[in-house]
Structure 1
């Protein structure tokens, strides 16, 4: 199979979908790998690294799309890429269709095979291709939140860890999944007081078992959320519904109950966000303020640490890329149920059930 890796062109997206090591494995199995010129530089991999691993370097994105049977990416295609996608071409990347009807319609019209990293799922419901980026984003949420709590950036002026004689900052984490657990771990490590909310008691028991005493668990309800937002300095949204839109747990009117300079970091922004006031931002312009509350809603947070993120992502995606290349997408998805769950759009039809329910007009 001919596999193409275009350079990511989303704002400040420096990750790349294959490392030279991944190229080496694919070439070893007899596949051809086309890498767009300088695609790996943001992650620390130069073209010569790919050439030595057996890849062919293509100077333009158009040449990569035109020749490849399968495109492997990190982020969803953007508008300038839509015309390059061909009928029957396999696209394997993060799509997050639920929050983007324009992208969904474009992929339906392309009649390509769209396999989404974020809906590939193990038998126990684990999302193996989303997990490493959720780990990165959860940890980054605290780094970024701590920074934007600083007064020059319109935050409350709170040091999360406090100092002797001064109490630490308070962090509220919505969701005890991968993002929430990693955010709580980082915040606790800084010495902050952490409250983590979820409706899954099994997850809360796990958090209670593995976290230090200054991480407190509570059942998530609107009442508890309203109570906590009044006195917490940093709020992290990490609620995920696989393939669907995140629930809006904090409404616009709730912002008036928060202290001026409170910071909200919405890690669920790719799935529409779990704050009503969420709108996607970029690393170039990461924040905005509504009712004196600082919002950080960067839709590709791991792109800011591309070396770490690329290695973490390709560790888990490469085995699936190999299956798709070795077997072809139909056989690979039939023989591997977890990979089959990644199928979202096939030849102009939405095949992922959660997505079908979100866009019924596109199914009819």
Structure 2
């Protein structure tokens, strides 16, 4: 199979779909790999390293979109990239379609076969291709929130860990999954006063066992969220409904009780955000203020630590890329139902139920797409 890896063009996105090591593995399996010149510079990988791995370096993304059978990326294709996608081509990347009707419509129109990292499943309903970026984003959310809390950045001027004789900052984490767990772990490590809310009793029990007295747990409902954020210096939104738009758990009215200069970090912004007042921001201009509350809503947080993120991502995306390339996407999905969960769009139809329901498309069941 001819596999292409273009340079990411989203604002401040330094990650890359394939590391030189991943390219080498694909070549070892007998595939041809094209990499756009400069695609790996954000992770410290130059064109020479890709050439040594057996990849061909091409100028610009046009040859990749025009000729490659599978395009491997990190972030959802931008408008200029979507215009180049073609019928029968495989797109393998993060998509987050439910809150993005424009992207969905253009992928449907293109006829591309789009496989979304974030909906590929694992045993027990896990999301193995989303997990490493959730780990990164969860940990980064505390760093970002701590910086936004600094007075010069519009925050309350609170040090999360406090100092002897001064109380630590109060951190509220809404959602106890991978993002929430990693956020709590970082906040606890800094010495903050941490509470995690979740609506799954089993999750709360696991968090309680892990953190013991270092973090508190609380059942997540509207009343408990409202009372918790009133005391917060930093709130982390870490909820996820796989493949669907995130629920709006914090309304604008709830902000009225919060301390001026408190910070909201919406890690769910890729899926539309879990705060009513959120909208996507970039690393160039990461925050905005609503009703005196600082919002940090960068949609590609892990891109700021591109090397760590890219290698963590490739650890989980490469094995599936090899299956797709070695067997073809249909046979790979027939043999691996978890991979089949990643199919979101095929031949002008939406194939993922939550996306079809959210955006009003007639669903093409995956079984029919594979027939």
Normalising to structure 1: TM-score of the pair? 0.99
Q: Deviations over 1:13-66 (max 9, x none)?
A: 000011111111110111000000000000111000000000000011101111
Which residue number corresponds to residue 334 of structure 2?
A: 334
CA distance in 2, matches of 1:362, 1:255: 38
Q: Deviations over 1:238-295 (max 9, x none)?
A: 0000000111000011111100000000000000000001100000000000000000
Which residue number corresponds to residue 144 of structure 2?
A: 144
- Uncovered stretches (5+) of structure 2, i.e. residues with no partner: 365-371
Q: Deviations over 1:215-256 (max 9, x none)?
A: 000100111111111111000000000000111000011111
Give, in angstroms, the shift of residue 354 of structure 1. Answer: 1.1
Q: State which drifts further: 58-67 or 69-78.
A: 58-67
Query: Secondary structure of 1:84's partner?
Result: coil
CA distance in 2, matches of 1:161, 1:41: 36
Which residue number corresponds to residue 163 of structure 2?
A: 163
CA distance in 2, matches of 1:90, 1:281: 29
Query: Secondary structure of 2:217's partner?
Result: strand
TM-align CA RMSD: 0.9
Query: Secondary structure of 2:125's partner?
Result: coil
Matches within 5 A, 1:195-234: 195-234=195-234
Which residue number corresponds to residue 286 of structure 2?
A: 286
Matches within 5 A, 1:11-30: 11-30=11-30
CA distance in 1, matches of 2:188, 2:11: 31
Give, in angstroms, the shift of residue 123 of structure 1. Answer: 3.0
Which residue number corresponds to residue 68 of structure 1?
A: 68
Matches within 5 A, 1:1-364: 1-361=1-361
Q: Deviations over 1:117-165 (max 9, x none)?
A: 0000013110000000000000000000001101111101100000000
Instruction: State how many pairs are aligned.
Output: 364
- Uncovered stretches (5+) of structure 1, i.e. residues with no partner: none
Tell me which stretches of 4 or more aligned residues in structure 1 moved more than 6 Å: none
Query: Secondary structure of 2:213's partner?
Result: coil
Give, in angstroms, the shift of residue 175 of structure 1. Answer: 0.2
Give, in angstroms, the shift of residue 214 of structure 1. Answer: 2.7
Normalising to structure 2: TM-score of the pair? 0.97
Query: Secondary structure of 1:98's partner?
Result: coil
